[in-house]
Amino acid sequence: MRFCLYALLLVPFICNAQSSSLQYDIFFKTSKIGDMQINAFKDGNKSTITMKSYVEVSFIISQTFKILEKALFENDKLMYSEARRIKSGTITLDNQTKAIDNYYHLKNKEGSKILKTNAISYNFLMLYLKEPKNITSVYSDNFQKFLSITKLKDHHFKVVLPNNDYNEYFYINGLCSMVKIHTGFFNVEMRQQNIFIKD
């Protein structure tokens, strides 16, 4: 009887919580070189988004790239985020963004600084979960600054990075179906699994 009562008390909490997951395959030309997973969990006015990515490439030598990102939102305001990049076992990026009163405390391998802005409501992880309709900028946890979003066509957007690389984002039903990453060295595509994409 106690177990039944306890289970009934848990039902509202289980019903209010929502989780979702997106899986992407990463391609260089026609070869799959890695994968990425986005997980989102929402409970009331709080939400957590995590991302894990692993890529292995072989040009002259074999190299591995691992990316880990996490963002915590409350009432649609970014409260904390972290971004870490690991290249062949060496940490090359380790950033943190934390909301404090009416500003954000930014921390990276070089030190720390303050970002004077009231609220961040849309960061790079959100690009996968919510099409940026009527959104003109996105907070980059990697570069720790806001970047402009340019609409190229319906459901097709472009973000130019401070190093002049750029990403193109494509959407189906509000979710990111594909990302084309353009760098000075090579281009890759990330395609959401189980979705047929027309070029």
**pLDDT at residue number 16:** 54
181 within a domain of the structure (yes/no): yes
What gap in Å lies between CA 34 and CA 16, rounded to an integer?
A: 34
25 within a domain of the structure (yes/no): yes
What gap in Å lies between CA 182 and CA 119, rounded to an integer?
A: 29
9 within a domain of the structure (yes/no): no
Domain membership of residue 54 as a residue range: 18-192
Number of domains in the chain: 1
Tokens of 111: 């030190």
What gap in Å lies between CA 146 and CA 50, rounded to an integer?
A: 20
197 within a domain of the structure (yes/no): no
Task: Report CA 133 to chain centroid distance, whole Å.
Answer: 17
pLDDT at 82 over 50: yes
* Helix H or strand E encompassing 21: strand 17-28
Asked whether the beta carbons of 179 and 25 are under 8 A apart, the reply is no
Mean pLDDT of 43-66: 93
Q: Which of 50-59, 74-83, 134-143 has the lowest mean pLDDT?
A: 50-59
Q: Tell me, what amino acid is at 119?
A: A
pLDDT tens-digit series, residues 17-35:
799 999 999 999 999 999 9
Asked whether the beta carbons of 103 and 115 are under 8 A apart, the reply is yes
165 within a domain of the structure (yes/no): yes
1 within a domain of the structure (yes/no): no
The helix/strand/coil state of 104 is: strand
Asked whether the beta carbons of 96 and 81 are under 8 A apart, the reply is yes
* Closest alpha carbon to 33 in 64, 9, 6: 64
13 within a domain of the structure (yes/no): no
* Closest alpha carbon to 71 in 124, 129, 16, 144: 124
What pTM was computed for the model? Answer: 0.87
72 within a domain of the structure (yes/no): yes
Whole-number mean pLDDT of the chain?
90
**pLDDT at residue number 199:** 47
